[in-house]
A and B are shown apart, each in its own frame.
Chain A
Amino acid sequence: MKNQDLIAALEAVPEKRLRLVELARELLKPGGEVDLEACSTSPLLEEIREAVEEAEAYAKQTGELRWSLARLLS
């Protein structure tokens, strides 16, 4: 694979906005401490759980991609 093709393929990967990062922005107080009251309410508890699962899956897939790229380039 040519470098240019690889860069083009990577550029074609759509942007992914993780809900976990959005939630962190919403649930961290200005001082950086977690808003425990908000985090412990039942609808958000479920949302956080799903967001963590999504982030874990994303991290796993990114890891696999990184491993594949490293193999390709070696």
Chain B
Amino acid sequence: MEPRKTALLTLGYRFLRATSPPSLRTLGAWLTVGEPYAVFKDLVRQYLSDKEAEILALPHASMAGAFSRAFSERYFPLLQVALGGELPLERLVCGIPVEVYGLQYDDYHELPQNRPGMAVAALFVDFEEYVEEGGIRVALLDVCRRWLPEALLKKLRKGFDPGFLEFALEDKPEWRGLLHWAFKLINEVGLFFFATCMGDLYGNSCHSTGPPEWDPDVVANLTSDWEECSRMLEEEKSFYTWLEEDLAARAQELITYLEEKCKDWQKLNKPKT
């Protein structure tokens, strides 16, 4: 090859090495962002039309985050808001990245690490037949020993049947939070946000469905579902707060009430002779 050509090629090679131009794959990825962006613009117009100008004026990397924050405030929580991170726009348009709160296997094992009110409240529920592995109750009893006397723990060794709790707390709206927690623990809440766990949507197993699709009817249903869930969460929180004001005294008050109600429950369920 001519020395001039070789020199030019060497120069070109050095220039490319030094400037690191993007690969064809990178160029392709940059330009194909137009496709999800077109879908994203439609989503902004459909669900946050009053914020369209504000969101679309942001740098590309911040748009999806701004949309998710505004959407979560108005409709129901989206994943990245809960995680405090930024979901890429390309992933956001693939489906509604909804945050769900159904209990997973690991959540049961983490029950003892929850706030004291939650841990003590879990002791009131007989949920073990719904969880595959035993031993969780033992760990719960152990951690609750910090706050409850042995005599109380003895009474809570098994917990109460959720069906009985429903009957007993019927006229106790201030304690309804315990009932919500009980039905979440046995996974019997018929609301999407509590009946679905993260693994159901985003797990790697073949049973994972992926996020729900962007559809106005789906958004409307989830929004109404979330209103109900928020109310339940508030009732739960207020119950835990009440319990935490004096864990031993409040747990005792609750047990006394439930034991009294147990008599009515037994009368109701007594086989007729």
Contact = CB atoms under 8 A, between A and B. Distances in A.
Q: Do A and B bind each other?
A: yes
Interface of A: 7, 18, 20-21, 23-24, 27-28, 33-34, 36, 38-41, 44-45, 48-49, 51-52, 55-56, 58-59
B37 A39 contact: yes
A40 B60 contact: no
28 contacts: A18-B24, A20-B24, A20-B28, A20-B31, A24-B27, A24-B31, A33-B59, A34-B31, A34-B34, A34-B60, A36-B60, A38-B34, A39-B31, A40-B34, A40-B41, A44-B34, A45-B34, A45-B35, A45-B38, A48-B31, A48-B34, A49-B35, A51-B31, A52-B32, A55-B27, A55-B28, A56-B24, A58-B24
B41 A48 contact: no
Given A24-B30, A33-B60, A59-B25, 15 more contacts: A34-B31, A34-B34, A36-B34, A36-B37, A39-B33, A39-B34, A40-B37, A40-B38, A40-B41, A44-B34, A45-B34, A48-B31, A48-B34, A56-B24, A58-B24
A18 B31 CA distance: 14
Nearest to B26: A24
Which range holds the interface residue count of chain B?
A: 10 to 19
B27 to A, nearest CB: 5
Contacts, number: 58
Contacts of B33: 34, 36, 39
Nearest to A59: B24
| Chief secondary structure at chain A's binding surface | helix
A38 to B, nearest CB: 8
Interface of B: 1, 24-25, 27-28, 30-35, 37-38, 41, 59-60
